[in-house]
Copies of this chain bind each other. A is one copy, B any other.
Amino acid sequence: MKYKLGINDCNIGENVKIIEPVNLYGCSIGDHCFIGPFVEIQKNAMINEKTRIQSHSFVCEGVTIGIHCFIGHGTMFTNDLFKTPTIENWKMRKTNIGNNVRIGSNSTILPVNIGDNVIIGAGSVVTKDVPANYVVAGNPAKILRKISDE
């Protein structure tokens, strides 16, 4: 009952760089993306173009990540809030990450909506939506400041 990981049934764009071993199945990866080693991306996850998924990250079903994002090392996405009585009847929750979002390493992202240009500090646990152009950090993540246009 041993299975080998790999890249299966994925829709992968042009000029994508992938460092194996990775476990990618049924997901979409846009043009010019980078996928580091020890990454798992599940079915129906969508990574848009020019985005970097750094090593040790996990992107689950229900997650959409925008264009030109940086997903730091060891970032864990989630899609289950454990609201059901058992693990068998879990309900999938969705996560949307905007464009130009930077997520610091070792962050944990609950099922939320993150606006464009957001910066999430390393080691954060993001439990609520974050509007565009804000910097958040902490566990739970709180707004630190708005990104000015200077």
Contacts and interface: CB of A to CB of B under 8 A. Distances in A.
A107 B76 CA distance: 10
Interface residues of A, number: 51
A122 B140 CA distance: 10
A74 interface: yes
Interface string A72-94: 11101110001000110000000
Contact of A17 (B3, B74, B140): B3
A70 to B, nearest CB: 5
Contact of A70 (B4, B52, B68, B87): B87
A74 B3 CA distance: 20
A97 B37 CA distance: 25
Complex copy number for this chain: 3
Contact of A23 (B55, B58, B107): B55
Contacts of A106: 74, 76, 106-108, 125
A114 interface: no
A53 to B, nearest CB: 12
Given A20-B2, A139-B138, A105 B78 contact: yes
The 10 closest A-B pairs by CB, nearest first: A123-B125, A108-B123, A76-B105, A106-B108, A76-B106, A58-B73, A70-B87, A139-B139, A5-B37, A74-B76
